Structure 1
Amino acid sequence: MTLTSFGPANRIKRSAETHPLTWRLRDDGEAVWLDEYQAKNGYAAARKAFAEMAQDDIVQTVKDSGLKGRGGAGFPTGVKWGLMPKDESINIRYLLCNADEMEPNTWKDRMLMEQLPHLLIEGMLISARALKTYRGYIFLRGEYTTAAKHLNRAVEEAKAAGLLGKNILGSGFDFELFVHTGAGRYICGEETALINSLEGRRANPRSKPPFPAAVGVWGKPTCVNNVETLCNVPAIIADGVDWYKSLAREGSEDMGTKLMGFSGKVKNPGLWELPFGVTGRELFEDYAGGMRDGYKLKAWQPGGAGTGFLLPEHLDAQMYAGGIAKVGTRMGTGLAMAVDDSVNMVSLLRNMEQFFARESCGFCTPCRDGLPWSVKLLMAIENGEGQPGDIETLLGLVGFLGPGKTFCAHAPGAVEPLGSAIKYFRHEFEAGIAPVSAAVPPLARPIVVGA
């Protein structure tokens, strides 16, 4: 797996001016520990925030920068921070880092935590100062054992250096930080399910309102941000809003840079820090190197398994939320997957929907029963045993499980690729429908919903 920010033929080098997230990375892929991190201007932004900026000024700076959540939803970070209560009498507040990262085809947060753990800690330290939170948790996907090891070591280094704990940098501000490994459920990526899991409860999403900023962990005000989101904060504080905005390409409504990648049968699968607004074609051809010899690009997803499929002609779309929305889906995590011409879309969708059905928390009926139903229909079509009307039933499920129809966003994300696959590759689904003469009467076809 390539974890690099180099451009075509390594002509574009990383620098602090153009690659705020990745310029400190070591070429050998080893972690950057405290001494090296500080030698590379690490914690300078934290010192500036503590010595020169009022807490509300930090919030306003992040808001003015246009930083948006990098976990997939893209909610403005400064706006989210502004929802935390202003009442100074509320002295127990929490900052949570969402490091669950179980979106298939996505590994960007893993790279940051394994190789630049102090960047995340510095981002959380500045954020805690801005939000007046006295305790933070990194809610980490349990399978990320190397990331857990590196983060725990970095936390201890920061404590020993007076960058965590009591009276940080002589400011009188206290902040404790803990690494919490979760049980490994996709639904924990939803912030309120994460909060429930952290409290030791079943990882079900909560009803909103109240939002976590008002009633979060153990009933206290809580802010939840993604790993990559928090890692952007030090550069914004150190170098300013105008510089940060200038990083994005013309035409992009999203500011700064983004970790983007490509997986699948491409020549150079990997992960790169690129400005918002690059085209999918640049990402696919210049960085991922196009398809391997003998394969053709059939379709691609722009940002994880929960985003819709696009065709090769959509590669000219700009990689930012609005740019991808123009061609009919979402930016998601920004890590794309190439589907080659040897892949049957029905089989691919059956595999995806099995994952999403298994990962449903089971709380609401459309998700709990609808996703297994889609899997059964897809399995029948995959085996050439589909019945007339099955495709229409699948499209009906796409509508019934869409945005606003379920308790959280799990089901809408699960059916988005299904709807787009039928839209662009319906003939492959039709090929799995049995001839009418072989059709089994509907009442004789058992579908055990939820099994």
Structure 2
Amino acid sequence: MTTPNKPAPVTPVLTKRWLSPTSWSIKTYEQLEGYTALRKALKGTPEQLVQLVKDSGLRGRGGAGFPAGIKWSFMPPNEDKPHYLVINADEGEPGTCKDIPLMMADPHSLIEGCIIASYAMRSHHCFIYVRGEALHCIRRLNAAIREAHAAGYLGENILDSGFDLEITVHAGAGAYICGEETALLDSLEGRRGQPRLKPPFPAAAGLYAAPTTVNNVETIASVPFIVNGGADWFRTMGTEKSPGPKIYSISGHVSKPGQYEAPLGTTLRELLELAGGMKDGIPLKFWTPGGSSTPMFTTEHLDVPLDFEGAAAAGSMLGTTAVMVFNETVSVPWAVMKWTQFYEHESCGKCTPCREGTYWLAGILERMVEGRGTEADIDTLLDICDNVLGRSFCALGDGAVSPITSGIKYFRDEFLALCEQNRGAYVGAHS
């Protein structure tokens, strides 16, 4: 077992087919162990598969990190109502860009994972909810589904197992809120995407009021590898509480931005080495470990293990491992303002704290960045954040305040400088 401080190098798992010629075709997929896990899974029972995923320690790769096997076990064993598996491929968080490349380069790994997971949860219809702007991705998934049908991996009596499954790809309309699982379900049913009150939870009453499990793309794409390799093999990567490989999306001021697969627990220092270091040699200033909704880190956090426990212990969240890197040329208040404008625009408006809070936060930050801020604005920002955090209907509100509170925590002097600039201009005009 590797230690959190020094993860061992990992042979590509999730990305091993990405650079193969026509990696998205079923021919390439089958040449590289494709659909062998499905044959193996269908020889076992649903209960055995759920236990295998539990034993592997696989945690949700969509941000929350909830154990996938436990989530699967919430599905009732009886089939008096249809069971549904829904794949959250909305991916709308700023900086998050791992699922769409995965579906573009290796769609069959997701499809095989869907079939195995559906079998484990006694589901006969799976939906993949893709962000509507990702048109090429939607076409590639549909083509892969047609290939899987033709090969007998989808449809009725899959591989003579008696198990039936259909997969439907649904294009969303491009709303960030639909990344929240219950808003996604409302959108999938044809309604406006807004979070639902819980309970009931989706496992009891989800899509069409039937038992439903919602999983992230990367989570489900990991399943065929676990079936083939076993739980113990999966645990040789990552850390004890956060096992397995992970796709880290590195963007911003690095020499080679892109997707980097590494064991959970890898540090930013190690990821920067993979990404060729800071672009043009300009030093690092701040970064996000998991997208714009996770509290930012600074140069002090270069050696924080990027797993679920390590990021939390350091005061942030692993999120979707969307590592956005900013050098010393970037103004923190400006970056925070841009993120806040996004959250204001994407708030669904259902609850007052988020709808009103993001509006006022964006307005104050815009005024400060223009040089018209006051010192009292900093306290006002923190006060509004305190009123939004934990009080909004869903996690969008919590995510919206993270850049602001962490930005002020680590770079208060930059916010104060905007106020001093304002005060100097005022004194000069009235002297």
**Which residue of the partner structure matches residue 159 of structure 1?**
149
SS at structure 1 position matched to 2:235:
helix
**Which residue of the partner structure matches residue 66 of structure 1?**
57
**2:38 paired residue among 38, 43, 46:** 46
SS at structure 1 position matched to 2:315:
coil
State the percentage of identical aligned residues: 47
After TM superposition, give the deviation of residue 232 of structure 1 in Å: 0.5
**Which residue of the partner structure matches residue 245 of structure 1?**
235
**Which residue of the partner structure matches residue 37 of structure 1?**
29
* Counterpart AA for 1:308: P
2:337 maps to 1:350:
yes
**Which residue of the partner structure matches residue 323 of structure 1?**
310
> Deviations for 1:347-379, whole angstroms, at most 9, x for unmatched residues?
111111000110011000000000010011001
SS at structure 1 position matched to 2:418:
coil
2:271 maps to 1:283:
yes
**Which residue of the partner structure matches residue 5 of structure 2?**
none
Q: 2:79 & 2:190 partners in 1: Cα distance?
A: 28
**Which residue of the partner structure matches residue 297 of structure 2?**
310
Gaps of 5+ in 2: 1-8
Structure 1 stretches of 4+ with a deviation exceeding 3 A read 436-439
After TM superposition, give the deviation of residue 27 of structure 1 in Å: 4.6
**Which residue of the partner structure matches residue 5 of structure 1?**
none
Q: 1:292 & 1:33 partners in 2: Cα distance?
A: 35
Q: 1:316 & 1:26 partners in 2: Cα distance?
A: 30
* Counterpart AA for 1:36: T
Aligned residue pairs total 417
Q: 1:130 & 1:381 partners in 2: Cα distance?
A: 53
Q: 1:261 & 1:246 partners in 2: Cα distance?
A: 22
After TM superposition, give the deviation of residue 346 of structure 1 in Å: 1.1
> Deviations for 1:267-286, whole angstroms, at most 9, x for unmatched residues?
111111111111121012x1
* Counterpart AA for 1:412: D
**1:197 paired residue among 172, 179, 187:** 187
* Cα distance change on mapping 1:35 and 1:294 into 2, 3 Å: closer
**1:435 paired residue among 413, 420, 423:** 423
2:382 maps to 1:387:
no
Identify the range of structure 1 (317-326 vs 18-27) with the bigger mean alpha-carbon deviation: 18-27
**Which residue of the partner structure matches residue 171 of structure 2?**
181
* Counterpart AA for 1:260: Y
Matches within 5 A, 1:248-267: 248-249=238-239, 252-267=240-255
After TM superposition, give the deviation of residue 428 of structure 1 in Å: 1.0
TM-score of the aligned structures, taking structure 1 as reference length: 0.90
**Which residue of the partner structure matches residue 422 of structure 1?**
408
Q: 1:148 & 1:56 partners in 2: Cα distance?
A: 32
After TM superposition, give the deviation of residue 89 of structure 1 in Å: 2.8
SS at structure 2 position matched to 1:274:
strand
Q: 1:360 & 1:295 partners in 2: Cα distance?
A: 35
After TM superposition, give the deviation of residue 88 of structure 1 in Å: 3.5
SS at structure 2 position matched to 1:397:
helix
Gaps of 5+ in 1: 1-11, 440-451
Q: 1:312 & 1:213 partners in 2: Cα distance?
A: 41
**Which residue of the partner structure matches residue 98 of structure 2?**
108
Q: 2:165 & 2:213 partners in 1: Cα distance?
A: 14
Determine if contact 1:395/1:419 at 8 Å carries over to the other structure: yes
**Which residue of the partner structure matches residue 4 of structure 2?**
none
Q: 1:386 & 1:279 partners in 2: Cα distance?
A: 36
**2:358 paired residue among 362, 371, 374:** 371
* Counterpart AA for 1:327: A
* Counterpart AA for 1:119: S
Determine if contact 2:23/2:29 at 8 Å carries over to the other structure: no
SS at structure 2 position matched to 1:162:
coil
2:70 maps to 1:79:
yes
**2:107 paired residue among 96, 117, 120:** 117
SS at structure 1 position matched to 2:326:
strand
The CA RMSD measured in Å over matched residues stands at 1.5
SS at structure 1 position matched to 2:184:
helix
Determine if contact 1:97/1:138 at 8 Å carries over to the other structure: yes
* Counterpart AA for 1:71: G
SS at structure 2 position matched to 1:97:
strand
After TM superposition, give the deviation of residue 435 of structure 1 in Å: 2.0
Q: 1:154 & 1:88 partners in 2: Cα distance?
A: 29
TM-score of the aligned structures, taking structure 2 as reference length: 0.94
**Which residue of the partner structure matches residue 3 of structure 2?**
none
After TM superposition, give the deviation of residue 213 of structure 1 in Å: 0.6
Determine if contact 2:91/2:131 at 8 Å carries over to the other structure: yes
After TM superposition, give the deviation of residue 387 of structure 1 in Å: 2.5
SS at structure 2 position matched to 1:337:
strand
After TM superposition, give the deviation of residue 437 of structure 1 in Å: 9.5
After TM superposition, give the deviation of residue 438 of structure 1 in Å: 4.3
Q: 1:424 & 1:25 partners in 2: Cα distance?
A: 38
**Which residue of the partner structure matches residue 26 of structure 1?**
19
2:261 maps to 1:273:
yes
